[in-house]
Amino acid sequence: MDLTSRAAALDTEHRDTDLRHLFRLPPGVYLDGNSLGALPAAVPGAVHEVVDRHWGQDLIASWNRHGWWSAPQRVGDRIGRLVGAAPGQVVVGDTTSVALFQAVSAALTLRPDRRAIVIDPASFPTDLYVVAGLAELTGHHVVTASPDGIPALLDSRSDVAVVVASHVDFRTGRLWDLPTVTRAAHRAGAITVWDLSHSAGAVPVELDRHEVDLAVGCGYKYLNGGPGAPAFTYVGHRHQAGYVPAIRAWHGHAEPFAMEPTHRFADDVARARGGTPPMLSLLALEAALGVFDGLDIDDVRRRSSSLTGFLIEALDELAPEVEVVTPRDPEARGSHVSVAHPQAYGMSQALIARGVTGDFRAPDLLRLGVGAPYLTHRDVLHAVRQLRAVLDGGEAEALDGPRRTVT
Ligand SMILES: Cc1ncc(COP(=O)(O)O)c(C=O)c1O
Ligand SMILES: Nc1c(O)cccc1C(=O)C[C@H](N)C(=O)O
**338, 368 contact by CB (below 8 A):** yes
Q: How far apart are CA 265 and CA 145, in angstroms?
A: 34
396 pLDDT band, cuts 50/70/90, is confident
Nearest to 98 by CA among 256, 188, 238, 217: 217
Distance 126 CA to ligand 1 centre (A): 6
Asked if the model's pLDDT at residue 407 lies above 70, the reply is no
Residue 367 catalytic?
yes
397 pLDDT band, cuts 50/70/90, is confident
Distance 339 CA to ligand 2 centre (A): 18
Q: What pLDDT is stored for residue 405 in this prediction?
A: 59
Asked if the model's pLDDT at residue 237 lies above 80, the reply is yes
Q: What pLDDT is stored for residue 402 in this prediction?
A: 66
Residues 6+ away with beta carbon under 8 Å from 29: 355, 356, 357, 375, 379, 380, 382, 383, 386
Distance 278 CA to ligand 1 centre (A): 17
What residue owns the CA closest to ligand 2's atom 4?
Answer: 228
Q: What are phi and psi of 116, to 5 degrees?
A: -115, 145
Q: How far apart are CA 81 and CA 83, in angstroms?
A: 6
110-116 mean pLDDT? 98
Ligand 1 contacts CB of residue 192 (under 6 A): no
Omega prior to 151 cis, within 30 of 0: no
Residue 113 catalytic?
no
Q: How far apart are CA 311 and CA 339, in angstroms?
A: 11
Ligand 1 contacts CB of residue 42 (under 6 A): no
Give the three-state DSSP class for 32.
coil
1 pLDDT band, cuts 50/70/90, is confident
Q: How far apart are CA 258 and CA 13, in angstroms?
A: 57
**Residue ranges covered by each domain of the chain:** 3-19+295-399, 45-292
**401, 332 contact by CB (below 8 A):** no
* Atom from ligand 1 closest to the CA of residue 168: 1
ipTM above 0.95, yes or no: yes
Distance 158 CA to ligand 2 centre (A): 35
- pLDDT tens profile 191-213: 999 999 999 999 999 999 999 99
Q: What pLDDT is stored for residue 400 in this prediction?
A: 76
Q: How far apart are CA 202 and CA 192, in angstroms?
A: 21
Give the three-state DSSP class for 87.
coil
Residues 6+ away with beta carbon under 8 Å from 399: 345, 346, 349, 350, 353
- pLDDT tens profile 322-356: 999 999 999 999 999 999 999 999 999 999 999 99
Q: What pLDDT is stored for residue 403 in this prediction?
A: 64
281-301 mean pLDDT? 97
Nearest to 21 by CA among 373, 297, 308, 307: 373
Q: What are phi and psi of 199, to 5 degrees?
A: -125, -30
The ligand placed nearest to the CA atom of residue 165 is: 1
Ligand 1 contacts CB of residue 243 (under 6 A): no
What residue owns the CA closest to ligand 1's atom 4?
Answer: 96
Residues 6+ away with beta carbon under 8 Å from 380: 7, 29, 307, 310, 311, 314, 370
- pLDDT tens profile 80-112: 999 999 999 999 999 999 999 999 999 999 999
Q: What pLDDT is stored for residue 115 in this prediction?
A: 97
pLDDT > 70 in the chain, percent: 98
What residue owns the CA closest to ligand 2's atom 1?
Answer: 35
Q: What are phi and psi of 343, to 5 degrees?
A: -105, 35
Q: What pLDDT is stored for residue 42 in this prediction?
A: 98
Q: What pLDDT is stored for residue 399 in this prediction?
A: 81
- pLDDT tens profile 134-187: 999 999 999 999 999 999 999 999 999 999 999 999 999 999 999 999 999 999
Residue 124 catalytic?
yes
Q: How far apart are CA 252 and CA 267, in angstroms?
A: 9
- Name every protein residue with a CB atom under 6 angstroms from any ligand 2 atom: 34-35, 124, 170, 407
Asked if the model's pLDDT at residue 79 lies above 70, the reply is yes
Pairing type for strands 365-369 and 359-361 reads antiparallel
Distance 220 CA to ligand 1 centre (A): 9
Q: Which CATH architecture has domain 45-292?
A: 3-Layer(aba) Sandwich (3.40)
What residue owns the CA closest to ligand 2's atom 14?
Answer: 35
Was domain 3-19+295-399 assigned CATH 3.40.50.2300?
no
Catalytic residue among 23, 101, 124, 232: 124
Q: What pLDDT is stored for residue 299 in this prediction?
A: 97
